[in-house]
């Protein structure tokens, strides 16, 4: 990591955006952790000096650190101006990119970082962008020594590292995992900023290009070890969690599969099959979600439908997404639990013709998912990049979080910051 010659170890790009503000606050919080030693030099970056200044003033107020605004650098740059992005990248060891939707604004940042030997972390949940960046830039990033690590927020660090953690805790070979996400809310319910909604609208509207990209990549399928994991119905009942569930439509499955391929091809680890679901409670919630889902899938197919979805997120998402985002009360009262049910084989027991004879259940729990957990995950990923250099892949490249961080102390860092990994049960069947 080229930290010595650069004025800033971390630069938060898009710090005045909705999520960027939380990330900037989290970097400021990280600075006062006693065991970190001297404060790391960092900066915020974006188009408007006034807005960036206000973000730092709000963070100073929230953290009780009146001198904060004078301690943090401000870099003016614009996604549409490549020279300004180069200038920003030259000053940073790691850029934390919070400017989405990434399909429109992500590539110039990746390009500028690679060209200037800078590492970059994003919190993208858009499989098409993530996979495209790998095919376009992996070799160039490796050549330049840049680590480009996508999906390092709530999408998809808990899922990706959760599968690795489950495998590490099983006394045998893990072959398949199902995860179930449960979002908990307070009396005022859940709300998500419409930036996430926009990414979903554009992503689902462009599914054909993702399929095309995957077909052109011409990858051999990852081998299935042991029994094949059966897919659940689109609406199924999870007995263990006493709740109905639906498939989780974020980037988790895409990211975990890419990680498992990397671990097989580079570290010769046995690959794990993976499926992701989300609990939705009782039958009333199921019916409400079915209607919302049908509306969404119908409208997203047409240009005018996509415009309506983007213009009225609150209406089409039954109030879950809004242009204002969640209130502080909603954020404070929210949390998540991600439960993993794994199966596999004990040591010396052959997966060839036998059914799995081991079960394990693990959990990742944390604060509000979209902004608080995302900021913690992103900042701890950046700290891991800066501090665990000898445990990263030997050369740079475009990586998933699991591929980059499987041998680092990232899980320990997350545990210390309130995103907790634990084993619930483990047994031989």
CATH number at residue 255: 3.30.360
Looking at the domain assignment, is residue 3 inside a domain?
no
CA-CA-CA-CA dihedral for 100, 102, 105, 110, to nearest 10: 120
Looking at the domain assignment, is residue 1 inside a domain?
no
Q: How many domains does the chain have?
A: 2
User: Hey, which of 4-8, 35-39, 308-312 has the most confident mean pLDDT?
Assistant: 308-312
Contacts of 136 (CB under 8 A, 6+ apart): 107
Provide the token pair at 48.
């408007």
Q: Which long-range CB contacts under 8 A does 289-296 form with residues at least 24 apart? A: 289/246, 290/235, 292/316, 292/317, 292/318, 293/246, 296/204
Q: What is the pTM of this model?
A: 0.94
What span, in angstroms and rounded, lies between the C-alpha atoms of 14 and 47?
A: 8
For the residues 107-121, what does the mean pLDDT come to? 98
The CATH number of the domain where 98 resides is what? 3.40.50.720
Query: Quick one: pLDDT band at residue 353, thresholds 50, 70, 90?
Result: confident
Query: Quick one: pLDDT band at residue 204, thresholds 50, 70, 90?
Result: confident
Looking at the domain assignment, is residue 2 inside a domain?
no
Q: Please tell me whether residues 196 and 345 are part of one structural domain.
A: yes
Looking at the domain assignment, is residue 225 inside a domain?
yes
pLDDT tens-digit map of 356-415: 999 999 999 999 999 999 999 999 999 999 999 999 999 999 999 999 999 999 999 999
Looking at the domain assignment, is residue 18 inside a domain?
yes
Provide the token pair at 46.
């974006």
Query: Which domain range does residue 56 map to?
Result: 8-153+375-406
Q: Please tell me whether residues 112 and 130 are part of one structural domain.
A: yes
Looking at the domain assignment, is residue 142 inside a domain?
yes
Report whether pLDDT(4) > 70: no
Q: Please tell me whether residues 347 and 395 are part of one structural domain.
A: no
Q: Please tell me whether residues 201 and 55 are part of one structural domain.
A: no
Q: Please tell me whether residues 18 and 140 are part of one structural domain.
A: yes
Q: Please tell me whether residues 68 and 120 are part of one structural domain.
A: yes
Looking at the domain assignment, is residue 171 inside a domain?
yes
For the residues 39-59, what does the mean pLDDT come to? 96
Looking at the domain assignment, is residue 349 inside a domain?
yes
Contact 184, 337 (CB under 8 A): yes
């Amino acid at each position: 990591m080229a930290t010595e010659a650069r004025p800033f170890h971390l630069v938060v790009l898009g710090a005045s955006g909705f999520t960027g503000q939380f990330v900037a606050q989290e970097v400021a919080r990280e600075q006062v952790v006693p065991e970190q030693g001297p404060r790391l030099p960092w900066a915020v970056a974006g188009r408007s000096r006034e807005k960036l200044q206000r973000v730092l003033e709000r963070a100073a107020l929230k953290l009780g650190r009146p001198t904060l605004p004078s301690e943090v650098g401000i870099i003016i740059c614009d996604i549409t101006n490549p020279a300004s992005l180069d200038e920003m990248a030259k000053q940073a060891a790691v850029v934390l990119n919070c400017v989405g939707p990434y399909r429109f604004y992500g590539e110039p940042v990746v390009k500028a970082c690679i060209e200037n030997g800078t590492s970059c972390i994003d919190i993208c949940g858009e499989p098409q962008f993530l996979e495209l960046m790998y095919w376009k830039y992996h070799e160039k990033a490796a050549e330049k020594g840049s680590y480009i690590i996508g999906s390092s927020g709530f999408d998809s660090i808990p899922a990706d590292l959760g599968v690795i953690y489950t495998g590490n805790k099983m006394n045998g070979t893990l072959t398949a995992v199902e995860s179930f996400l449960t979002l908990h809310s307070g009396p005022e319910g859940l709300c998500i900023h419409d930036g996430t909604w926009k990414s979903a609208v554009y992503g689902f509207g462009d599914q054909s290009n993702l399929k095309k990209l995957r077909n052109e990549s011409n990858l051999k399928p990852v081998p299935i070890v042991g029994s094949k994991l059966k897919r659940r119905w689109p609406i199924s009942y999870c007995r263990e969690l006493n709740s109905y569930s639906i498939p989780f439509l974020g980037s988790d499955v895409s990211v975990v599969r890419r990680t498992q391929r990397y671990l097989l091809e580079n570290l010769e680890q046995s690959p794990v099959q993976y499926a992701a679901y989300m609990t939705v409670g009782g039958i009333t919630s199921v019916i409400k979600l079915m209607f919302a889902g049908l509306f969404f899938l119908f409208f997203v197919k047409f240009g005018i439908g996509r415009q309506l979805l983007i213009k009225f997120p609150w209406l089409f998402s039954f109030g879950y997404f809004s242009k204002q985002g969640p209130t502080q009360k909603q954020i404070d009262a929210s949390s998540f639990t991600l439960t993993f049910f794994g199966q596999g084989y004990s040591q010396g027991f052959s997966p060839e013709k036998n059914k799995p004879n081991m079960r394990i259940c693990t959990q990742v729990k944390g604060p509000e998912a979209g902004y608080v957990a995302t900021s913690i995950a992103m900042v701890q990923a950046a700290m891991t990049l800066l501090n665990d250099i000898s445990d990263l892949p030997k050369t740079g490249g475009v990586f998933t979080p699991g591929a980059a961080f499987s041998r680092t102390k990232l899980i320990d860092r997350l545990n210390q910051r309130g995103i907790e990994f634990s084993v619930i049960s483990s047994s031989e069947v």
